[in-house]
C-alpha cells in the first residue's frame, strides 16, 4: 500500500545526539497491524490476570498492559535477526518475536505445550530462533547479557543489533553502568531500552534515582527520550538507534510508558499511585486508543470493523486458553531433563536419593 506519514505525539529529546524527525512513515497495513497486535497483547494479559485469579497461574506474573506500544514499535523497526532480551515482564515481547498464544498460556499454566515446556513459567519465555533471549528474573542482569548478544553479533559480523530492555528501577543497577562502559569501549551494537513506567514495584522513579532522566544516565553514551505510548515514536527511535548502534556503538532509549496493572499479581498497584493517575493515562495516552484514532482519522477502517477485530481477538485468546488447558502437565521425567546439554554419565538425584535417581 501507499505510505503516508504520521507525527509523533511529542518531539524526541536527545542527549549527545541529534534526535530523529517527528514525521514517521507508515502504511495502512502497518497501522492496522499495530492495532491488531497491541489489542491481542492487551487481551492476552487481561486473560492471564483472570487465569491467575482462578489459580491456574502460580507464583509471579508480571503483566504488560499499557506498555504494548514499546513491543510493537520496536518490532516494526527491526528484523528477527536483531536480538531482544528483557526482564520478567516478557509475555508480549515473546509474542512480538513470533511466539504464539498457546505456548504463552501453556507456559503460564505450567503445561507441556508451554514455550519452556512448563519449566520456566511467566518470567522465563525464550525463542532463540526468533531472536528472543528471555525473560530474566534478576533485575538488571539482562543488560550485560544483552550487551553480550551484541558482542556476538559484532564478532560474527552480522550487522545486526540487540535491544536490552529494563525498567526504571533496574536503571540504577551498577552492572548496567559496567556493561555500558564496556559496550562503549568496544563499540558494541547494543541498544538499551529503559521502559520507564515510573515505578519499580511500589517505588516512584524519583525515590529510587537522584536523576530519573534515564536517557541521560549513560553520561558519555548518547540517549533519546521517546513517548513509549506512541508506537510510531518507538518505531522511529528504534530505527534511528539501530543505525546509530551499527555505526557508533551503544545508545539508550528511554521509553516513557505506563503499566496499568500492579507490579505483579500480589500488588494491587494502587497504594503508591492514585486511581486518577492511572485513569488519566488510560484516557490521554493509551497506546491502542492512539492507533485507533489514527486509523479512523485516515479512514482505514470503521469503528465497527475495529470492534470486530477486537471480538475476533477475544475468541482467538479464548481458544488458545482452551487449547493450552488441554495440554498435560510435563511428564515427571522432565524433572531430570535439560540440566545439561551433554550429560556426563553420572547420577542425578531426586529428593529421595536412594530411590529416585537417574543417569544423565
Partner 1 sequence: KEMTVREALNSALDEEMSADPKVFLMGEEVGEYQGAYKITKGLLEKYGPERVLDTPITEAGFTGIGVGAAYYGLRPVVEFMTFNFSMQAIDHIINSAAKMNYMSAGNISVPIVFRGPNGAAAGVSSQHSQCYGAWYAHVPGLKVLSPYSSEDARGLLKAAIRDPDPVVFLENEILYGQSFPISDEVLDSSFCLPIGKAKIEREGKDVTITAFSKMVGYALQAAEVLSKEGISAEVINLRSLRPLDRAAINASVRKTTRLVTVEEGFPQHGIGAEICASVVEESFEYLDAPVERIAGADVPMPYAANLERLAVPQVDNIVNAVKRACFRSVPVAAAA
Ligand X SMILES: Cc1ncc(C[n+]2csc(CCOP(=O)(O)OP(=O)(O)O)c2C)c(N)n1
Q: How many residues bind ligand X (CB under 6 A)?
A: 14
Binding region for ligand X (CB under 6 A) out of 160-168, 212-220, 315-323, 325-333:
160-168
The minimum distance between CB 219 and a second copy, in angstroms, equals: 5
Q: How far is the CB of 265 from ligand X (least distance, A)?
A: 13
Q: Note whether 170 binds ligand X by CB under 6 A.
A: yes
Q: Give the cell for residue 81.
A: 535477526
Q: Are 69 and 37 in contact (CB under 8 A)?
A: no
Q: Rounded to the nearest whole angstrom, what is the least distance from the CB of residue 209 to Mg ion in the complex?
A: 11
Q: In this chain, which of 167, 212, 218, 250 binds Mg ion, going by CB under 5 A?
A: 167
Interface contacts to a second copy, rule CB under 8 A = 172-178, 181, 184-185, 207-211, 216-217, 219-221
Cell numbers of 52, please? 491467575
CA–CA dist 161, 55 (Å, integer): 39
**Of residues 330-349, those binding partner 1 (CB under 8 A):** 330, 332-342, 344-349
Interaction of residue 168 with ligand X, rule CB under 6 A: yes
Nearer to ligand X, 20 or 228 (CB): 228
The residue count for the chain: 360
Q: Which of 64, 42, 61 is nearest to 51 (CA)?
A: 61
Instruction: Fill in the DSSP letter of residue 132.
Output: B
Q: Quick check: 98 binds partner 1 (CB under 8 A)? A: no
Burial 115-136 (b: 16+ CB within 10 A, else e): bbbbebbbbbbbbeebbbbbbb
Residue 43, helix vs strand vs coil: helix
Stretch that binds ligand X, among 167-175, 218-226, 269-277, 351-359 (CB under 6 A): 167-175
- Name which of 168 and 227 has its Cβ closer to Mg ion: 168
Is residue 220 near partner 1 by the rule CB under 8 A? no
Burial track 148-167 (b if 16+ CB lie within 10 A, e otherwise): bbbbebbeeeeebbbbbbbb
Residues 6+ apart with CB under 8 A from 247: none
217 contact choice in a second copy, Mg ion, ligand X, none (CB below 5 to 8 Å, kind-dependent): a second copy
168 binds Mg ion (CB under 5 A): yes
Least distance between ligand X and beta carbon 89 (Å): 5
For residue 197, state whether it binds Mg ion (rule: CB under 5 A): yes
CB within 8 Å of 215: residues ≥ 6 apart: 13, 15, 194, 223, 224, 225, 226, 252, 253, 254
* d(C-alpha 288, C-alpha 229), whole Å: 9
Q: Binder to ligand X among 6, 95, 115, 139 (CB under 6 A)?
A: 139
C-alpha cell at 222: 548518547
Residue 193 pairs with which residues in a beta bridge?
Answer: 165, 253
- Asked if 277 is part of the footprint of ligand X (rule: CB under 6 A), the reply reads no
Partner whose binding site includes residue 197, from partner 1, a second copy, ligand X, none (CB under 5 to 8 Å by kind): ligand X
Is residue 153 near partner 1 by the rule CB under 8 A? yes
Residues 185-224 that bind ligand X (CB under 6 A): 197, 199-201
3-state secondary structure of 196: strand
Q: Please tell me the count of residues contacting Mg ion according to CB under 5 A.
A: 4
Among 15, 42, 43, 89, binds ligand X (CB under 6 A): 89
Does 167 contact ligand X by CB under 6 A?
Answer: yes
Residue 209 or 320: the one with the smaller Cβ distance to a second copy is: 209
- Give the count of beta carbons closer than 10 Å to the beta carbon of residue 260: 19
From 38, 46, 100, select the one nearest 70 (Cα to Cα): 38
Residues that bind Mg ion (CB under 5 A): 167-168, 197, 200
Q: Which residues bind ligand X (CB under 6 A)?
A: 89, 137-139, 166-170, 197, 199-201, 263
Amino acid at each position: 500500500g501507499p505510505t503516508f506519514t504520521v507525527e509523533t505525539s511529542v518531539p524526541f529529546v536527545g542527549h549527545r545526539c541529534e534526535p530523529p524527525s517527528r514525521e514517521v512513515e507508515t502504511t495502512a497495513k502497518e497501522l492496522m497491524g499495530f492495532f491488531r497486535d497491541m489489542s491481542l497483547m492487551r487481551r492476552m494479559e487481561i486473560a492471564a490476570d483472570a487465569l491467575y485469579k482462578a489459580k491456574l497461574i502460580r507464583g509471579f506474573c508480571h503483566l504488560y498492559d499499557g506498555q504494548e506500544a514499546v513491543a510493537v514499535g520496536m518490532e516494526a523497526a527491526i528484523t528477527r535477526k536483531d536480538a531482544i532480551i528483557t526482564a520478567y515482564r516478557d509475555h508480549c515481547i515473546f509474542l512480538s518475536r513470533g511466539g504464539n498464544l498457546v505456548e504463552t498460556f501453556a507456559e503460564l499454566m505450567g503445561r507441556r505445550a508451554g514455550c519452556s515446556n512448563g519449566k520456566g513459567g511467566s518470567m522465563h519465555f525464550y525463542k532463540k530462533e526468533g531472536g528472543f533471549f528471555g525473560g530474566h528474573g534478576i533485575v538488571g542482569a539482562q543488560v550485560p547479557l544483552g550487551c553480550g548478544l551484541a558482542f556476538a553479533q559484532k564478532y560474527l559480523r552480522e550487522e545486526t543489533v540487540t535491544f536490552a530492555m529494563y525498567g526504571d528501577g533496574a536503571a540504577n543497577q551498577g552492572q548496567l553502568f559496567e556493561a555500558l562502559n564496556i559496550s562503549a569501549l568496544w563499540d558494541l551494537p547494543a541498544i538499551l531500552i529503559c521502559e520507564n513506567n515510573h515505578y519499580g514495584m511500589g517505588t516512584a522513579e524519583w525515590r529510587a534515582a537522584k536523576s530519573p532522566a534515564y536517557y541521560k544516565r549513560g553520561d558519555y553514551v548518547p540517549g533519546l527520550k521517546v513517548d513509549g505510548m506512541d508506537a510510531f515514536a518507538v518505531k522511529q527511535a528504534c530505527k534511528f538507534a539501530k543505525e546509530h548502534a551499527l555505526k557508533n556503538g551503544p545508545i539508550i532509549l528511554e521509553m516513557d510508558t505506563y503499566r496499568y496493572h500492579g507490579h505483579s499479581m500480589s500488588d494491587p498497584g494502587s497504594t503508591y499511585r492514585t486511581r486518577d493517575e492511572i485513569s488519566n493515562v488510560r484516557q490521554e495516552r493509551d497506546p491502542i486508543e492512539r492507533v485507533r484514532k489514527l486509523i479512523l482519522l485516515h479512514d482505514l477502517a470503521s469503528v465497527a470493523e475495529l470492534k470486530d477485530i477486537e471480538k475476533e481477538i477475544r475468541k482467538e485468546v479464548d481458544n488458545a486458553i482452551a487449547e493450552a488447558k488441554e495440554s498435560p502437565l510435563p511428564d515427571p521425567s522432565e524433572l531430570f531433563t535439560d540440566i545439561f546439554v551433554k550429560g556426563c554419565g553420572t547420577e542425578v538425584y531426586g529428593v529421595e536419593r536412594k530411590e529416585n535417581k537417574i543417569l544423565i
